[in-house]
Amino acid sequence: MKAFFEWSIDRLNQAGITSPRMEAEVLLAGALKLYREELYSRPERVLNKAEKVISHDFINRRIRCEPVAYILGQKEFWSLNFKITSDVLIPRPETEILVETLLSLNNIIPVGLGSHLLEIGTGSGIISVVAAKEIPNCRVTATDYWPEPLVVARLNADSHGVSNKINFIQSDIFSKVPITPYDFIVSNPPYIATPHLNNLMRDVRDYESKKALDGGVDGLDFYRRIIPMALNYLKKGGGIVLEIGETQAKPVSDMLCDEDKYESIKVTQDYSGYDRVVSARKKNNG
């Protein structure tokens, strides 16, 4: 196994992979269904034929820049393991800022709120699943336009024991969502400007779903639809929490201001110092 591990590092390094040793560890451990530490504790292990085939396949796929999460079929988020397929975007650490913002707002809103959540564009279901686990007595409605992501999201809800708390609906934004008052509406919508899609890293550009990335000519199409319509679904005093691209804080905040029915508009930065989340609350007299 040691010789194969060194070969894997060399191949990834030649392909320009940024962290070849770490990725070789992750891929080989995934192929062999081992913990990464076991690669070093059992270097003398001899791979059988089936293990060699799948390990070579994993390395060769990564050399072609296929994301590790798609190769392994899983990704960690909020210290939980989620099933990931090519039908959904790969969870990013930055999205944890959205979850943190949601939980923070849930802790300060008036008594009686904080139990009914609507997520627009659930994808793999990570936000809804974490909310269902973290917020006591939380009931979640999670939508997606496409049926394939909903399959993945349901599997993740099942694996984390919260399927009884989440209602999944195939819907174009709010089109199939019953008008009922929600305490929170959250969304990490497509926000990449169409002209910038071809400038994305190859891992993203060639493998992740463009329909889940493309936010229109300026990247703001989904905010234009979500922000005004959300007022029909939010309770008075309820919160809206939106992930944004790093240059979109002002235009998204301006949309909220222009409605004149939102207050407490706030921009939260991620751990790299980039604007990442915009949140607001529906006015009590709105």
Q: Which three-class secondary structure state does DSSP give residue 168?
A: strand
Average pLDDT over residues 52-75: 96
| 127 and 30 co-located in one domain | no
Burial 93-116 (b: 16+ CB within 10 A, else e): ebbbbbbebbeebbeebeeebbeb
Domain range enclosing 7: 2-64
Average pLDDT over residues 167-176: 97
Of 29-33, 121-125, 226-230, which range is least confident? 29-33
How big is the chain by its Cα radius of gyration, in Å? 21
User: Quick check: 110 pLDDT over 70?
Assistant: no
| 54 and 182 co-located in one domain | no
58, amino acid identity: F
Instruction: Name the one residue in this structure whose structure tokens are 């397929």.
Output: 85
| 23 and 116 co-located in one domain | no
Query: Cα separation of 18 and 30, whole Å?
Result: 19
Query: Cα separation of 219 and 198, whole Å?
Result: 14
For residue 69, being part of any structural domain is answered with no
121, amino acid identity: G
User: Quick check: 286 pLDDT over 70?
Assistant: no
Query: Cα separation of 14 and 203, whole Å?
Result: 16
- The tokens of 218 are what? 């300026």
The pLDDT score that the predictor gives to residue 235 is 93
The pLDDT score that the predictor gives to residue 114 is 52
| 20 and 147 co-located in one domain | no
| 183 and 257 co-located in one domain | yes
Query: Cα separation of 204 and 221, whole Å?
Result: 20
User: Quick check: 43 pLDDT over 80?
Assistant: no
pLDDT tier at 55, thresholds 50, 70, 90: very high
pLDDT tier at 36, thresholds 50, 70, 90: confident
| 54 and 141 co-located in one domain | no
Record the pTM.
0.94
The pLDDT score that the predictor gives to residue 144 is 98
For residue 220, being part of any structural domain is answered with yes
Give the mean pLDDT of the chain: 94
The pLDDT score that the predictor gives to residue 113 is 53
Number of separate domains in the chain: 2
Average pLDDT over residues 65-77: 97
| 60 and 91 co-located in one domain | no
| 119 and 184 co-located in one domain | yes
The pLDDT score that the predictor gives to residue 39 is 81
Closest by CA to 203, choosing from 88, 17, 67, 20, is 67
What confidence tens digit (pLDDT) does each residue in 117-158 have? 999 999 999 999 999 999 988 999 999 999 999 999 999 999
pLDDT greater at residue 4 or residue 11 = 11
